[in-house]
Amino acid sequence: MAIEKPLVLITDYLEEADIENPVLENCADIKILNTHTDTDIDPFASKVKGILVFHDIKISARIIAKLDQCKGIVRCGVGYDNVDIKAAGEKGIAVCNVPDYGTEEVADHAVMLLLAIARRLIPCYDDIRSGGWQPNHVFGAPRLRGKTVGLIGCGRIGTATALRLKALGLRVLFYDPFATPGLDKAIGMERCHSLEEMLPQCLFVSVHTPLTPKTKHIVNDATLALLPKGAYLVNTARGPCVSGDAVVRALESGQLAYAALDVVEKEPLDDERLRKHPKVLLTPHSAFYSVEGFIEMRRKGSNLS
């Protein structure tokens, strides 16, 4: 008599489980939903033993209440912001993530965005595509070497970003109350103990903090007002860490010169002010991706499940 294998759901983002199958096929039945709607989980909720979730769907308290046999939820990525950890804990369901993939990719992407807005890449490109060949679009671009950049959050990705920025000759400050003591000395950065201390010194700001109740809208009207006028903002962390309304107001007032956002508060983006603003550079939550990094994340997530 064949033994029924436990059911593992892959809720979103994937159309096939070519990476997951070699890890799980001998011990689990895999079901791919590829959904954006949590109600599609309902038919499987009472019998699923494990869930792999990416970032297109939220595993809410409503869903968790129905997971009578589930033993674990794996967030295939960094952070837990789309899993209700409290509800899972009350249900006795373990939750884990994959924190150590994609570090280099996100750091590369953050620096790419910073360089692109500082060097006015998009207006130059648009001008050439429309038949022009004028260097005036780059007029006003600052020399990077010797300028100060502030990092909000300095974990794995923040540290990797700092090393890249130091190689470009920037002075690197960071604010992270949870960073290991001595990190500043080991890497050659300067630690600040508040945003009020750090931001007035920074022409550039790059966000690398996880999303928590305390970091939601950590970049807002008040914090942006601390920056020197004409500053530059990069966010490759989580969209809700930055207030989109505050960014628009800061751009319109000139408090920000440019903003580069890989993540926004609501994805897919539905804010036309950001989408069409000439001083906003957007990428579609793609900073994490490389062929190698995506395989690594999926393989590690499968092993955790």
| Same domain, yes or no: 128 and 222 | yes
227 within domain boundaries: yes
Give the total number of structural domains in the chain.
2
| Same domain, yes or no: 238 and 162 | yes
**Residue 25: predicted pLDDT:** 87
Per-position b or e across 45-55, b if 16+ CB within 10 A of its CB: beebbbbbbbb
268 within domain boundaries: yes
| Same domain, yes or no: 24 and 96 | yes
| Same domain, yes or no: 59 and 136 | no
211 within domain boundaries: yes
| Same domain, yes or no: 186 and 68 | no
In this prediction, residues 168-188 reach a mean pLDDT of: 97
From the list 16, 90, 252, 267, the catalytic residue is 267
- Supply the pTM of this predicted model: 0.92
From the list 109, 171, 208, 238, the catalytic residue is 238
**Residue 201: predicted pLDDT:** 99
| Same domain, yes or no: 176 and 227 | yes
| Same domain, yes or no: 121 and 86 | no
CATH number of the domain where residue 55 is located: 3.40.50.720
| Same domain, yes or no: 192 and 264 | yes
What is the residue-wise DSSP string for 183-207? Answer: HHHHHT-EEESSHHHHGGG-SEEEE
Helices of type H across 168-280? 183-187, 195-198, 221-225, 244-253, 272-275
Gap between the Cα atoms of 223 and 245, Å rounded: 13
Residue 1 has pLDDT above 70, yes or no: no
CA distances from 52 to 17, 25, 222, 226, 304 (A): 11, 14, 38, 41, 9
Per-position b or e across 71-100, b if 16+ CB within 10 A of its CB: ebbbbbbbbbbbbbeebbeebebebebbbe
> Which residues constitute the domain of residue 107?
103-282
2 within domain boundaries: no
From the list 55, 109, 208, 285, the catalytic residue is 285
In this prediction, residues 202-229 reach a mean pLDDT of: 98
**305 band by pLDDT with thresholds 50, 70 and 90:** confident
| Same domain, yes or no: 81 and 114 | no
Catalytic, 217? Answer no
Catalytic, 275? Answer no
**Residue 88: predicted pLDDT:** 97
In this prediction, residues 78-101 reach a mean pLDDT of: 93
1 within domain boundaries: no
| Same domain, yes or no: 114 and 93 | no
90 within domain boundaries: yes
| Same domain, yes or no: 136 and 273 | yes
Residue 143 has pLDDT above 90, yes or no: yes
Catalytic, 238? Answer yes
| Same domain, yes or no: 108 and 188 | yes
